[in-house]
Amino acid sequence: MTDHVRSLPQRIETDPETVERELFRLVLTIIELIRQLMERQAVRRIDDGGLAPEQIEQLGLGLMHLDEAVTTLRDRYDLTPQDLNLDLGPLGTLLDP
């Protein structure tokens, strides 16, 4: 048995509220990453002139509603935008500020 295995506790204590909040934090982080990628893609398509004005309006409204939903869910679990921005060590942070 390695030293790492010996140093692990026999039982991992988990607080159901903490586990739920941390899992939700991870899910919201993924959603926020996807939202930012979608927003960049939308800006690129608008800049390229590939969208009609109605499509631009729909895209803007959709992204706005998604942002509002993420904010509402963040508030429910008392999370800040910084809580969703995972530190990737030497690579920096996951999300744009």
**Structure confidence at residue 10 (pLDDT):** 56
pTM of the model: 0.72
pLDDT in tens, 19-40: 888 888 889 999 989 989 999 9
Report the C-alpha gap between 80 and 61 in whole angstroms.
23
What is the b/e burial string over 2-35, where b = at least 16 CB atoms within 10 angstroms of the residue's CB?
A: eeeeeeeeeeeeeeeeeeebeeeeeebbeebbeb
pLDDT in tens, 39-88: 999 999 999 998 899 999 999 999 999 999 999 999 998 999 998 888 88
pLDDT in tens, 84-95: 888 888 888 888
